[in-house]
Homo-oligomer: A and B are copies of this chain.
Amino acid sequence: MDIETYLREKKELIDSFIHTYFGAPIAPDILCDTMTYSLFAGGKRIRPILAIASYEACGGNGKEIVPFASALEFIHTYSLIHDDLPAMDNDDLRRGKPTNHKVFGEGMAILAGDALLTEAFYILSNYRHRSPHISPQSMLSLIREIAMAAGTHGMVGGQAQDLLSENTKPDADTLSFIHNHKTSALITASVRIGGILSNCGDEILAKLTHYGLSVGLAFQIVDDVLDMEGKTELLGKTAGSDKRKEKMTFPVLYGIDHSLKKAGGLVHSAINVLQSFTEKADPLREIALYILRRRN
């Protein structure tokens, strides 16, 4: 399979859903502008694509869950907007473009994040988006899974610890807590919901969870290495910004070589756990490898 084509095709499905979603008028106009500015600021849609690939790996038709998968991108985008705020990471650039608050002001950026998070749950609870194969109970599990991964026990908890840890001496436990919560939780949930929506059963779900945790951590490590190596154009944020803020990252703690070895091991483990899956899981396998290749 050609993973580049796969990623492009799935991205088009997601982008198309998001465009349609904003076809209905939102008032005031600027609220719509600030949300779509960040939604279309160059994101690769990795989380929604993982959800679709996981659903397909369990035998489903990916098109059925495009709305639910897109809601993950709303949540990811909200987290980027809030993380970039002056009171948080204070970043001026994201994926090579001015951050949301630099364009729309802090107040409107906070509201854009709030709106994206809330609309995600509106989409996830919309019965109209449900295909006949998906039960209302599965939809509730989906919502709970995503809320868990995005809230205090996931993303927000990780960001709170990250904020507390700025300018402190790195230690392995804290770094692991931040990565597991801030990044891995939502990536793992993205993979898991493919399984949940296809009623895959506990054994398969455990394997998808292992895959998600491994790929999520590998993704974060590669991101931190790209930041340290200064590849602003690949990273899309101001390279070196972690170091300047004395952020606790994998390469800061373990060095670049050891970090990349660790990421390679995680990707290997993620692919390994999918051994019992058919060729329908090839996109999941290829996405894991793609995450390592981001460096080139």
Contact = CB atoms under 8 A, between A and B. Distances in A.
Contact of A107 (B28, B88, B119, B148): B88
A275 interface: no
Given A26-B153, A114-B82, A136-B140, A160 B108 contact: yes
A199 interface: no
Interface string A109-127: 0110111011101101111
Interface in A130-148: 135-137, 139-141, 143-144, 147-148
Given A87-B106, A163-B107, A156 B125 contact: no
Contacts of A111: 82, 156, 159-160, 163
A1 interface: no
A234 interface: no
A164 B34 CA distance: 13
A177 interface: yes
B151 A115 contact: yes
A157 interface: yes
A145 to B, nearest CB: 9
A253 interface: no
User: How many copies of this protein are present in the complex?
Assistant: 2
B125 A28 contact: no
B157 A26 contact: yes
Contacts of A164: 28, 30
A110 B136 contact: no
A75 to B, nearest CB: 9
Nearest to A142: B125
A119 B155 CA distance: 12
A164 to B, nearest CB: 6
A215 to B, nearest CB: 23
Given A28-B161, A31-B156, A125 B110 contact: no
A150 interface: yes
Contacts of A161: 27-28
Contacts of A160: 28, 30-31, 108, 111, 115
Given A114-B156, A118-B156, 13 more contacts: A30-B160, A30-B164, A31-B160, A88-B107, A88-B110, A107-B163, A108-B160, A115-B157, A115-B160, A119-B152, A124-B143, A127-B137, A127-B144
Interface of A: 26-28, 30-32, 35, 78, 82, 85, 87-88, 105-108, 110-111, 113-115, 117-119, 121-122, 124-127, 135-137, 139-141, 143-144, 147-148, 150-153, 156-157, 159-161, 163-164, 177
